[in-house]
Structure 1
Amino acid sequence: MATTESSVIFDSAIKVDWTRDVFDRLIVAQAMADKAELITKDGNILKHYNKAVW
């Protein structure tokens, strides 16, 4: 379960500028805030988020 405050996630999501997809921004921002790996098959996320795996 995520424990990071939503304001931190939103601030981080605004800085994700390699996608216009709001949900991708929020998903990646959450993973970044938690310093977590992100399991995805989304090629754009895999290309830009170094902790993304498939």
Structure 2
Amino acid sequence: MLVIVWHLLSDEQSAFLDLGADHFARHINPDMKKRNHIRQIDALGYIVTLTAAA
């Protein structure tokens, strides 16, 4: 964070843009996240079966 502050203060043309608290939550692809978790569990030697929550 110190490096970010230094860059913001040293360059008069730079401006801070707050992306918002929910920035990462808005950019999550649920299918890709599910696929990655399944792949990681498979790598540990487990068999994964998913069923939708009620």
- Calculate the TM-score normalised by the size of structure 1: 0.30
Compare CA radii of gyration and give the structure with the larger one.
2
Bigger relative contact order, structure 1 or 2 (CA pairs below 8 A, ≥6 apart):
1
More strand by share: 1
What TM-score, normalized by structure 2, do the two folds share?
A: 0.30
